[in-house]
Homo-oligomer: A and B are copies of this chain.
Amino acid sequence: MSFELTKPILDRIRTDVEDGRDSSVQELLSELHPADIGSILDRLTVEEAVYVYRLLEPEEAAEVLLELDEDRREELLGSLTSREIAEDVLEHIDSDDAADVVSELSEEKQREVIALLDDAEQREDIEELLTYEEGTAGALMAKELVQVRTDWNVARAVVEMRRQAQEVEHVYTVYVVDKDDHLYGILPLKQLLFSAESTRTLIKHICDTDVESVKVDTDVEEVVKLMKKYDVVVLPVVDSEGRLVGRITFDDVMDVMSDEATEDYQLASGISEDVDATDTPLVQMRARLPWLLIGLAGGILSSQIIAQYEGQLRIDPKMAFFMPLIAATAGNVGVQSSAIVVQGLALGSLDGVNIFARLWKELRVAVITALVCGLLIFLVNLGLHETQALTYTVSIALFSVILSAAMFGTVIPLALDRLKVDPALATGPFVTTLNDIFGLLTYFSVGHLMYGLFP
* Contact residues in B for A260 (Cβ distance below 8 Å): 261
Q: Within the assembled complex, what's the spacing in Å between the Cα atoms of A326 and B342?
A: 28
Pairwise interchain contact A365-B302, C-beta atoms closer than 8 A: no
What's the Cα separation between A304 and B292 when bound, in Å? 27
A348 at the interface (CB under 8 A from B): yes
Verify A340–B275 contact, CB threshold 8 A.
yes
Q: Are B318 and A307 in contact (CB under 8 A)?
A: yes
Q: Does A136 contact B (CB under 8 A)?
A: no
CA distance A356 to B336 in the complex (A): 34
CA distance A455 to B306 in the complex (A): 23
A416 CB within 8 Å of chain B? no
- A432 adjacent to chain B (CB < 8 Å): yes
Residue of B nearest to A269 (CB): B339
Report if A382 contacts B (CB, 8 A). no
Assess the B192–A171 pair: CB atoms within 8 A: no
Asked if A39 is an interface residue, CB under 8 A from chain B, the answer is yes
Top 4 closest pairs, chain A to chain B, by CB: A299-B325, A277-B344, A269-B339, A261-B261
| Complex contact A307–B335 (CB within 8 A) | no
Identify which of B212, B265, B432 contacts A264 (C-beta below 8 A): B265
Selected from B7, B250, B258, B285, the residue in CB contact (under 8 A) with A365 is B285
Are B354 and A7 in contact, CB atoms less than 8 angstroms apart?
yes
Give A385 Cβ to nearest chain B Cβ, in Å. 12
Residues of A near any B CB (own CB < 8 A): 1-2, 4-7, 9-10, 33, 35-36, 39, 42-43, 69, 161-162, 165, 170-172, 189-190, 192-194, 212-214, 222, 226-231, 233, 250-251, 253-255, 257-258, 260-262, 264-266, 268-271, 275-278, 281, 284-285, 288-289, 291-293, 295-296, 298-300, 302-304, 306-307, 310, 313-314, 317-329, 331-333, 335-336, 338-344, 347-354, 358, 361, 364-365, 368-369, 372-373, 376-377, 380, 402, 427, 429, 432-433, 436-437, 440
Query: Contacts A10-B352, A320-B320; is A339 near B228 (CB within 8 Å)?
Result: no
Given A39-B348, A193-B189, A365-B285; A324-B436 close (CB under 8 Å): yes
Tell me if A228 and B258 are in contact (CB < 8 A).
yes
- Which residue of the partner chain B has the closest CB to A344? B277
Q: A189-B190, A277-B344 are in contact. List 15 more A-B contacts (CB 8 A).
A: A5-B352, A35-B229, A161-B193, A260-B261, A265-B265, A265-B339, A265-B342, A266-B339, A268-B269, A284-B340, A292-B336, A303-B321, A328-B436, A331-B331, A331-B432
A126 CA to B402 CA in the complex, in Å? Answer: 47
The answer to whether B352 and A6 have CB atoms under 8 Å apart is yes
A249 to chain B, nearest CB (A): 8
Instruction: Look across to chain B and name the residue whose beta carbon is closest to the beta carbon of A347.
Output: B276
Q: Which residues in B have their C-beta under 8 angstroms from that of A170?
A: 190, 233
Alpha-carbon gap, A358 to B35, bound state (A): 23
Residues A289 and B349 in contact in the complex (CB < 8 Å), given A162-B194, A277-B341: no
Within 8 Å CB of A323, what residues of B?
Answer: 320, 323-324
B213 touching A349, Cβ below 8 Å: no
Contact A230 B33 (CB under 8 A): yes
Whether A284 lies near B365 (C-beta < 8 A) is yes
Residue of B nearest to A343 (CB): B262
A320 touches B306 (CB 8 A): yes
Quick one: closest B residue to A278, CB to CB? B349
Minimum CB–CB distance from A342 to chain B (whole Å) comes to 8
Q: Are A353 and B432 in contact (CB under 8 A)?
A: no
Q: How far is the CB of A442 from chain B (nearest CB, A)?
A: 13
**Residues of B contacting A352 with CB < 8 Å?**
5-7, 9-10, 43
Partner of A327, one of B324, B338, B347: B324
The answer on a CB contact under 8 Å between B171 and A336 is no
The residues of B that contact A329 with a CB separation of less than 8 Å are 292, 295-296, 299
Chain B nearest CB from A333 CB (Å) reads: 7
- Is the beta-carbon distance between B213 and A190 smaller than 8 angstroms? no
Residues of B near A433 (CB, < 8 A) are 328
Partner of A338, one of B269, B303, B324: B269
